[in-house]
A and B are shown apart, each in its own frame.
Chain A
Amino acid sequence: MSVYQRPVKLFWWLEKRSYVIFVLRELSSVFIAWFVVFLLLLVNAIGDGAASYQTFVDWSGQWWVVAINVIAFLFVLLHTVTWFALAPRAMVIKMRGTRVPAQGVVAAHYLAWFVLSAVVAWVVLR
Chain B
Amino acid sequence: MADEITLEVARYRPGVDAEPVMQQYQVPLREHWAILDGLTYIKDQLDGTLSFRWSCRMGICGSCGMTVNGEPQLSCATFLTDYAPGPIRVEPLRNFPVIRDLVVDIDDFMTKLPTVKPWVIRDVDEPVEAGEYLQTPEELDDYKQFSMCLNCMLCYSACPVYSLDQDFIGPAAIALAQRYNLDSRDEGAEERRAVLTSPEGIWACTFVGECSAACPKGVDPAGAIQRYKLTAATQSIKELLMPRIKR
The reply to whether B208 and A19 form a contact with Cβ atoms under 8 Å apart is yes
* A12 to B19 alpha-carbon distance, docked (Å): 19
Please encode chain B, from 13 to 24, with 1 for each CB lying within 8 Å of some chain A CB and 0 for all others. Answer: 011010110000
Please encode chain A, from 69 to 113, with 1 for each CB lying within 8 Å of some chain B CB and 0 for all others. Answer: 000000000000000001001111000010000000000000000
Given A3-B97, A3-B105, A19-B160, A90 and B213 touching (CB < 8 A)? Answer: no
The reply to whether A4 and B230 form a contact with Cβ atoms under 8 Å apart is no
Please encode chain A, from 1 to 28, with 1 for each CB lying within 8 Å of some chain B CB and 0 for all others. Answer: 1111110100011011011001000100
* A26 to B14 alpha-carbon distance, docked (Å): 38
* A92 to B14 alpha-carbon distance, docked (Å): 47
Measured as residues with beta carbon below 8 angstroms from the partner, the interface class of chain A is: 20 to 34
Chain A minimum-CB-distance residue to B17: A4
The reply to whether B220 and A89 form a contact with Cβ atoms under 8 Å apart is yes
| The one of A5, A22, A90 that contacts B206, using a Cβ cutoff of 8 Å | A22
Given A3-B98, A4-B98, A97-B138, A18 and B208 touching (CB < 8 A)? Answer: yes
Given A1-B99, A89-B220, A12 and B70 touching (CB < 8 A)? Answer: no
The reply to whether B208 and A90 form a contact with Cβ atoms under 8 Å apart is no
| The one of B94, B160, B222, B230 that contacts A91, using a Cβ cutoff of 8 Å | B230
Can you list 9 A-B contacts (CB < 8 A)?
A2-B15, A4-B14, A4-B97, A5-B98, A12-B160, A12-B163, A18-B210, A22-B209, A86-B207
With A4-B98, A89-B220 already in contact, 11 other A-B pairs whose C-beta atoms are closer than 8 Å: A2-B14, A3-B14, A4-B97, A6-B98, A22-B160, A22-B207, A26-B206, A89-B227, A90-B226, A90-B229, A97-B138
A contact set with B: CB distance below 8 Å: 1-6, 8, 12-13, 15-16, 18-19, 22, 26, 86, 89-92, 97
